[in-house]
Structures are given as C-alpha cells and as structure tokens.
Amino acid sequence: MAESARESAQKARSASRKLQALATEERVAMLNRIADALLANETEILAENAKDVQEAGDKISQALLQRLVLKPQKIQQLAEGIRAIAAEEEPIRRVISRMEGQRQQQQQQQRLQRLVLKPQKVQQLAEGIRAIAAKKEPIRRVISRMEVAEGLTLEKQTAPIGVLLIIFEARPDALPQIAALALRSGNGLLLKGGKEAAHSNAVLHKIIVEAIGPMGADLIHLITSRDEIADLLKLDDVIDLVIPRGGNALVSHIQANTKIPVLGHADGICHVYVDAAADLDKAIKIVVDAKVDYAAACNAVEKVLVHESLVANGGLGKIQSALQDAGVTVHAGERLQQLQPDSKLPAAPSARHEYSSLDVTLEVAADMAAAIDHIHANGSGHTECIVTEDAEAAEAFLRGVDSACVFHNASTRFADGFRFGLGAEVGISTSRIHARGPVGVEGLLTSKWVMRGSGQVVAKDSGVTYTHKKQRIA
C-alpha cells in the first residue's frame, strides 16, 4: 500500500459523503451483507485468529521465560538491588514490585484471552451487526423544526461526523462492531489495530470491505504498521474524532499527543456509596457484583464509601467480609484507618486509585454530602451508585453527582453500551463534550441546519418578520 494515512483519510471523507447520499435500504443491505460474510467466512477468521493467538502466546511465554533466566547482567542488577534495599530499608517497594510482576503476568493472560475468537463470538458479532442494521435510520433524522418567518423553515438534522480514527489494542472483535457502527452512522473510518491481532484484523477487514462493495475500500482503511500512531495523531485537519479502545496507558498517551478530539476515558474510578438507609443485602449484592463480575473493567467499583452509621451497627464489617469472601482484597481508606487503627486491612495506595484487579478501597463518609464531595474530588466522572431505600436521598444523589452515569440501587457494571440498549458501543466517554457515557451510533453523529425559503433576505433584519414558531416533528 503506497497510500499515506492522509490520503486514506481524504478518501474516507469523500466515501463517507457518498455513503450519506445512499438510500437507507442500501446502507442497511451493506450491514446485512457484512453479517452474512462474517458467518460464511468463520473458518478463515478463526484460522487467522489462531495464528495471532499462537504468536502472542509464544511472545508471552518468552517474556515469562526471560524473567526466569538469569543473565550475568541481571545478577549484577539483583545484587545492587539487594544492597540498596539493605541500605534504605524499603520492603514496601519490593512487595509492590513483586505484585507488579504478578499483575503483568495476569494482564498478559487477560490480553491473550481477549485476543481469542470463538465460533460463538463470530455469531454474536453477526447478530450485533444485524441489530445495528435494524435500528431506525440515524442520518437525516429531524431533531427540531421551526418556522423562522412566513415561508422560511429551519430544520436541525442529524449528520455523520465524517472521518473517525479508531485505535484499538488486542480485541479483534472490536473491528466488525466499530465498522458496523460507523457504516450505520455514515462515517468514514481509519482503523489502527494492535500488532498482536494483525492476522485477525486483516481478514476481518478484507471480509467487511468486500461485503460493502465498490465503496468499501475507500470507506474503511486498515492502517498498517508503516504509519505509526504518532503520525496518525497529527492529522487533525483530515480526521474529526479519535476513539482509543484500550487500557489507561493507551488512552492517556493519545489524549496527551493529539489535537483531534478524543472520545474515551483514561480512568474508570467508580464509587458505590452505601447510605445510612441502605438495605444491607442489596448493598452487599451490588458491591460484590460491581467488583467481582469483571474486576479489570472500567465500570468496576474501585471504592466503596460507607455511611458512618454503618461502622457502629456492623454494616461496614459485613460488607468487608462479603467482599473478602468473594476473593477481593479490601484496602482501608484514610478515614477508615483513623476510625479502626487496629484493623489489619492494607492501606489504600491513595484516595484516587484504579486497581483494575480484585482489590477495592473501603472508606467511611460522614454523610451523603461528604460522599458526593469525596467522589468529585477523587473520581473520574465515569459511574457512581447510591444504595439506599430513601427515595429522596437517592434523587439528591442522582442530581448532585456530576458523572457520566449515576445509578440508584444497581451495579456499576450496567454502565455499558449493550446493557444500555445501544446495541453496541464504540467506547465509554468521560469527556464532557459531545457524547458522554457509553457511546453507540448516536455518539458518531453531529447535526446540520437545513433552511428552506423562497428568496428571503436579511436586509438588516427588516427583510422578514420573524415568527420563530416551533413545529411538531412527525
């Protein structure tokens, strides 16, 4: 491919404009063809995916191997390290570094798991794409209509954003989902996948482009390794939005290195606040689910804030035990440490910490106002939940907490595009501009003003008599 990423972006824009002009049925047919093609090519997809998994597995084993092999240089480093430890007495560092090693291993295994495509997953993908195809036409939907003056009407319509750059790590199932969402919303697409999934991405891209038809190759570009992420992030004049799908490090790096608007979240530091009026059984069920269902997810709880009255009445102790019984390491927040100095809980690393593992901070809040202040000071604006039977307190929390998602008596794990009924999601945004929370087709749209007249002019605002009558939308 001699084509530069800039050229790809320009082709994607012009193809996106052609796509918008097509009738709904044609665009829906494209999506259904993609779903068909995924199913028809399942064997090829799984074969290519197996290559990726094989290669990634090899690399990870080598990494593990390398850690086991002691080379002369390493022994020297170790010796120096031991001398330093002896001199400075820093046992905590050592523990952390050992934990880091374990965590890295866990993370690599998680990455490997995410990489694997199974027949069931291909079928789910095809179903998801049919669901996106079946959704109401998202483009040129009339948002509002007004009579500006006699014979002069104004409509606000939905319109595609234009050209999207999606940067995603391992997960190859993200590719067809994102392609379907972009197609349904009329956008052109630049895809930059992780090297680990190169075979899977290539075959998925090929199948999708062929299923779309003549327009496919211009509309959806798989950027190969020749163009590095740094170069792509400079193309702010031809790319309208970048959506990173991956870990904290990837998202933070992208946010720090581009002028293209970024839709996503770096941190997912979610809170559950257990109110004085909470039903303790519900609280335990929610808190455990919010952590254990998928500990590394961005919508997993990282801190459980408990109303002070639950310290004395034993509620806090029961929540702590339930979490521990579920295999969670409970860390004590600053206030809890002061209240229970003799507890054997390890201290939380800081007031603002994302574990992404089977760890959670337990902390005490004097009242709901203090809990809300604590969330605003230490949260990441992703998802927060109140557990209470007091309807008034619940509404005050939902109104007062300034996060993308605020829940009453429901697990934070519900903060997800599929569970929210969006069909699929391109990601979850904690940005306050454009889309917020789980982002589906709607988040890939902008608006456009369409005015229809019969020769009206402004003439210093004496050309027409403004009526500004809002009209009903059919």
> Could you say whether residue 452 binds a second copy (CB under 8 A)?
yes
User: Nearest 10 degrees: CA dihedral of 292, 293, 297, 303?
Assistant: -40
Block residue for tokens 């808190």: 287
CB 49 to a second copy: min, Å: 23
> Could you say whether residue 211 binds a second copy (CB under 8 A)?
no
Query: What DSSP character marks residue 122?
Result: H
Site track 290-329 with a second copy (rule: CB under 8 A), x = hit: x--x------------------------------------
Closest listed residue to residue 254, CA positions, set 238, 232, 276, 287: 232
CA distance 434 to 469: 27
CA distance 405 to 224: 36
CA distance 361 to 363: 6
> Could you say whether residue 411 binds a second copy (CB under 8 A)?
yes
Structure token pair of residue 138: 């998202």
How many residues lie near a second copy (CB under 8 A)?
Answer: 76
CB 96 to a second copy: min, Å: 26
**The binder of a second copy chosen from 338, 350, 447, 471 (CB under 8 A):** 447
| Cα separations in angstroms, 436 against 175, 428, 439 | 22, 7, 7
Burial of 187 (0-12, 13-18, 19+ CB in 10 A): buried
Q: Which residues from 156-175 bind a second copy, rule CB under 8 A?
A: 159, 161-162
**The binder of a second copy chosen from 74, 93, 118, 259 (CB under 8 A):** 259
Site track 137-156 with a second copy (rule: CB under 8 A), x = hit: ---x-----x-x---x-x--
Q: Which stretch binds a second copy (CB under 8 A): 13-21, 30-38, 168-176, 312-320?
A: 13-21
CB 246 to a second copy: min, Å: 20
CB 257 to a second copy: min, Å: 10
Q: Which residues from 219-258 bind a second copy, rule CB under 8 A?
A: 240-241, 255-256
**The binder of a second copy chosen from 406, 424, 426, 441 (CB under 8 A):** 406
Structure token pair of residue 433: 């501009």
DSSP notation for 50-102:
HHHHHHHHHHHHHHHHHHH---HHHHHHHHHHHHHHHHH--HHHHHHHHHHHH
| Cα separations in angstroms, 245 against 53, 265, 434 | 19, 9, 17
Q: Which residues from 16-45 bind a second copy, rule CB under 8 A?
A: 17, 20-21
∠ CA 279-285-287, nearest 5°, is 95
CA distance 228 to 231: 5
> Could you say whether residue 466 binds a second copy (CB under 8 A)?
yes
| Residue 98 or 259 having the CB closest to a second copy | 259
Q: Which residues from 357-376 bind a second copy, rule CB under 8 A?
A: 376
**Contact indicator for 411, 289 with CB cutoff of 8 Å:** yes
Closest listed residue to residue 211, CA positions, set 180, 181, 189: 180
Q: Which stretch binds a second copy (CB under 8 A): 54-62, 120-128, 226-234, 278-286?
A: 278-286
> Could you say whether residue 457 binds a second copy (CB under 8 A)?
yes
CA distance 166 to 9: 12
- Strand, coil or helix: what is 387? strand
> Could you say whether residue 110 binds a second copy (CB under 8 A)?
no
User: Nearest 10 degrees: CA dihedral of 137, 158, 178, 289?
Assistant: -90
**The binder of a second copy chosen from 59, 103, 234, 285 (CB under 8 A):** 285
**The binder of a second copy chosen from 172, 333, 438, 440 (CB under 8 A):** 438
> Could you say whether residue 472 binds a second copy (CB under 8 A)?
no
| Residue 344 or 432 having the CB closest to a second copy | 432
> Could you say whether residue 430 binds a second copy (CB under 8 A)?
no
**The binder of a second copy chosen from 233, 243, 362, 405 (CB under 8 A):** 405
> Could you say whether residue 93 binds a second copy (CB under 8 A)?
no
**The binder of a second copy chosen from 73, 344, 455, 465 (CB under 8 A):** 455
> Could you say whether residue 121 binds a second copy (CB under 8 A)?
no
